Amino acid sequence: GESGPEAGRPGYDLIVQGESGLMDLTGFPDGPPVKTGNSIADLAAGTMAAHGIVLALFARERTGAGQKVEVAMLEVMASLLTYQGQAYLSTGVSPRRKGNEHPSIVPYEVFEAADGYLTIGVANSSLWTRFCQALGRPELAKDSRFDTEARRVEHRATLVPLLGQIFATAPVATWLERLGQAGVPAGKIKSVGEALDSEHLRARGAIVPVTHPTAGTMRMVGPPIRLHATPGEVAGPAPLLGEHTEEILTKLLGYSSAEVTGLRAAGVV
């Protein structure tokens, strides 16, 4: 941000992840703090900046006046703490790392099957009953230790290892089929390659081909926001160094070709 006692500090993604409390929440209780697998602070700050610009444009339509839009990476990440941040503000107790556990939902985490990992989201008692039936263990739904959300959280240390033993008996695909038929939210933990090559993304047209001037045809992730009346598209790959210099100088800034030649000769561009 532009104010405050630390306004002059450099704001790199990793630094902000640590300073915001996010890294202290990420990882397992007996391990060190861990950053996310991508540059979430950079990406979230850019996304919020885009939102801010749109808000300012709407305000201009109403008032006729423009305004400055300020987005601070640290504040963006503080807002993304969501319920974890509010838990501290309400109780004065900082939440700690829990690995893949959810603080108030069980089971809502990662399990290892016979050939890989899957995620399970059993967020209410109706899902819990269907989940137990899909596992072939309907009696667990009526077990007094697990028959309410609160009791499942209370007996997490007993329930999670028990479920782990069950999931270890069959491959991921088998569990996903059973859970899907029961309407229980579940998914395979995929590699980046598996995710981007998935049939679903391919059918959605989410991965698009572009032509690079030196690398040839390559694939990129398309726009995730779909406007059905005015859809966007990937205009092309990242430009080469200086690829659009002359276009910008002549078409946007009004320089003549002779002036651009002079700038090149002087080493300015």
Q: Collapse the DSSP code of 212 into the 3-class scheme (helix H, G, I; strand E, B; otherwise coil) and give the result.
A: strand
Residue 152 CB burial class (10 angstroms; 0-12, 13-18, ≥19): buried
CA proximity to 179, closest of 218, 227, 127: 127
Sign of the alpha-carbon dihedral angle for 216, 218, 220, 226: positive
Looking at residue 36, its amino acid is T
Beta-ladder partners of 219: 209
Q: Please pick, among 13, 24, 30, 42, the residue that the annotation labels catalytic.
A: 42
Amino acid at 169: T
The number of C-alpha atoms within 13 Å of 211 and in the hemisphere containing its C-beta is 1
Q: Is-catalytic flag, 147?
A: no
User: What is the separation of C-alpha 223 from the centre of its chain, rounded to a whole number of angstroms?
Assistant: 15
Catalytic center residues: 42
